Amino acid sequence: MSDSVGWCLIESDPGVFTELIRELGVTGAQVEELWTLDSSLFDAIKPVHGLIFLFRWIGEDQPDGPIVRDSRIEKLFFAKQVINNACATQAILSVLFNCRHPDINLGITLSEFKEFSQKFDANMKGLALSNSQKIRSVHNSFGRSNSIFEFDDTAKPKSKDDEAYHFVAIVPIEGRLYELDGLKEGPIDLGLIKPNTDWVEAAKPFIEKRINKYKEGEVHFNLMAVVSDRKLILEQRLLSLKTEELDEATKISEESNIRMKIADEEDKMKRYKIENARRKHNYLPLIVEILKLLAKDGKLVPLYERAKAKTLEKEKQKIGKV
């Protein structure tokens, strides 16, 4: 199935993906954006179940390990990418489908899909995902409303300056680290995770290697983590605090700190809902009314001419710098 049939492009944002997986029925999980590979950041959001790495695709490259072709493939959920606009959603679902942590509950929709497609080969899994009406419907609900200002440019030839971005998932499974890249033939075995070592530490060199491919100052990548529901983790910590043998002052201080973090998580989820509502809202009627009022007051054409002049001037400046 091509993405022109019905998968829209959605923004790669932790708020979008957290609400997306929850609308699919997943409980006990959320998505966090990471700004650094510093260990203290990962410690603050443990447990981490998988990493989603977005990067500017600069052509086919050699995998960082062998492609899994043995009996392990039966234990891994890996789907080939057959739809472009859903690659981030597919990467996040790949993490969830391979997660065996008790915090995570896939819910009915994803559990049934996983069971239905588990025995399929990678290409059939990709096709099954692309044809899942429920998953596609939830995915598309986070797309921006169509407007007359949007147009289909799929027929336009791609220039050498056009940039393509791609998502891959990195997950720990049974003591080994795997990269799940839907453009590859299968899961990539990144190696053994050393005993008593946080799997994230094993993943960092592979992420840093990708980042180092870009020139200094370029920001053509993004890192997100699928983690346990932060609010539930904090609430569990609050309950366990009551049974701990701590002096009263320490216990009060710790409880206050935890409650502040819970409030921060609640505020974050409220903000996500507001931001997603704005993403989904159709602003076209408002825009049309504003244009009508400007035209009525004789301001529309002058504004257009000034904007056009500024655009032409910027284009001249760009040409002059080349």
H, E, C per residue of 15-26? HHHHHHHHHCCC
Distance CA 197, CA 193 (A): 7
The answer to whether residues 92 and 225 touch, using CB atoms and an 8 Å cutoff, is: no
The answer to whether residues 96 and 29 touch, using CB atoms and an 8 Å cutoff, is: yes
Active-site residue flag, 49: no
Place of tokens 């050393």: 194
Among 182, 183, 185, 205, which Cα is nearest to 193's?
205
Count of C-beta atoms within a 10 Å radius of residue 221: 15
Indicate the helix (H) or strand (E) that contains 55.
Answer: strand 48-57
Count of C-beta atoms within a 10 Å radius of residue 63: 16
Active-site residue flag, 87: yes
Write down the catalytic residue from 87, 101, 220, 281: 87
Write down the catalytic residue from 49, 99, 139, 166: 166
Q: Name residue 98's amino acid.
A: N
Q: Which two tokens stand for residue 174?
A: 């049974």
Distance CA 191, CA 171 (A): 11
Known catalytic residues are 87, 166
